[in-house]
Amino acid sequence: MYWVVNIGVLLVSVAAVGCVVLVVYRVLQGRSKRRLLSRTHGVLADSPDFIGVSAVCYDIESVGHISELLDVEYPSYELVVVMDSRSKPELFQEILRHYRMMRVEYRPLEPQAALGVRGFYRSERRGFNRLTLLDQMEVFSSLSANAAVRVATYDYILPIEGRVRLVPRAIERLIMELSEYPIGSIQLVRSIVGKPLLLYARESVMEFGGFDRMAWGAIDRDAKITLYERLFFLAPSRHVSLAVGACIAVAVAGAFWTWHWGWWSLTLMLLDVLLLVGLFAWLASISTHSASEGRKSEFGAM
């Protein structure tokens, strides 16, 4: 019985090492690709504007958050903010005031009342014509996606949750990836590093009947792309950093202690934990780095 457990521990270790090596390799490949594409300016200035992205944002936190999400150089991009004016009246009014938004008439084919939509707002200022505010009852939040997708202008939808920020030039990176394939052939793009990102083809969302029903496995292999790059990031949280630090300290101390007493299988398990936590910390650190570097680099290098 004892040796069965030991073999199990060894197999888990081999799997953990394999997983870490694969992820590190993929992430480094992703970085090399990003470096290559950072010197490719053509897609921003000279590509036909067929491919566009509509970012749909829920649970917006502040006006500053909207400004950050609007700060994208690629022209075929828009931001649809979905919020309930009654649950956050102050923030709603602040957004209306800050962007000088006015209520506009919009009569899509589907009855809006069924989706809980109270109104649409657009800015009077030309500089903010990429922003749309959708006032929707919170009880219809599960249907927010549908309402927002109907409002969106472009063929790819990027849902963004409240606290999430976009890494600089993330949209441009997605556009570069999409424009490597024939128009409309890609249905889903995901980035599995860090906070997961999912970019949906609008027609596929409508066909499946919502974001949540669009399972990764249900889509053809040629119609989906996986990126090993961080495109979203969460503002660094002190609690998470402390938790990761504590995990590493406990695992190191535990590994020494068990090694001292000759409990090899336990040492091995703790080293596995250390390896996986280290991988998590590494991925978090490269995302924070890329976010802070942003556009400081010369000549727009990413």
Interacting positions 138-167 with another protein (CB under 8 A): 153-155
Among 62, 93, 226, 285, binds another protein (CB under 8 A): 285
Site for another protein in 202-221 (CB under 8 A): 202-203, 207
Q: Convert 32-57 to b/e letters by CB count within 10 Å (16 or more is b).
A: ebbeebbeeeebeeeeeeebbbbbbb
- Contact status: 80 vs another protein (CB under 8 A): no
Question: Any idea of the CA torsion for 36, 42, 48, 53, to the nearest 10 degrees?
Answer: 50
Stretch that binds another protein, among 57-65, 101-109, 190-198, 211-219 (CB under 8 A): 101-109
Among 19, 26, 47, 165, binds another protein (CB under 8 A): 47
- Contact status: 39 vs another protein (CB under 8 A): yes
- 221 three-state secondary structure: helix
Among 158, 176, 199, 227, binds another protein (CB under 8 A): 176
Among 41, 97, 100, 295, binds another protein (CB under 8 A): 41
- Contact status: 280 vs another protein (CB under 8 A): no
Nearer to another protein among residue 59 and residue 210 (C-beta): 210
- DSSP states of 232-266: EEEPPPHHHHHHHHHHHHHHHHHHHHHHHTT-HHH
- Contact status: 226 vs another protein (CB under 8 A): no
69 forms beta bridges with none
CA dist., res. 160 & res. 232, Å (int): 9
Among 15, 22, 36, 253, binds another protein (CB under 8 A): 36
Rounded least distance, CB 194 to another protein, Å: 16
80 forms beta bridges with 56, 132
Strands, E, within the chain: which ranges? 53-58, 77-83, 101-104, 117-123, 131-136, 156-160, 164-166, 188-191, 197-201, 224-227, 232-234
Among 85, 112, 136, 267, binds another protein (CB under 8 A): 267
Rounded least distance, CB 123 to another protein, Å: 7
* Binding letters toward another protein, positions 237-266, x by CB under 8 A: ------------------x---x----xx-
Nearer to another protein among residue 104 and residue 242 (C-beta): 104
Q: Which two tokens stand for residue 242?
A: 């402390």
Question: What is the number of other CB atoms lying within 10 angstroms of the CB of residue 10?
Answer: 13
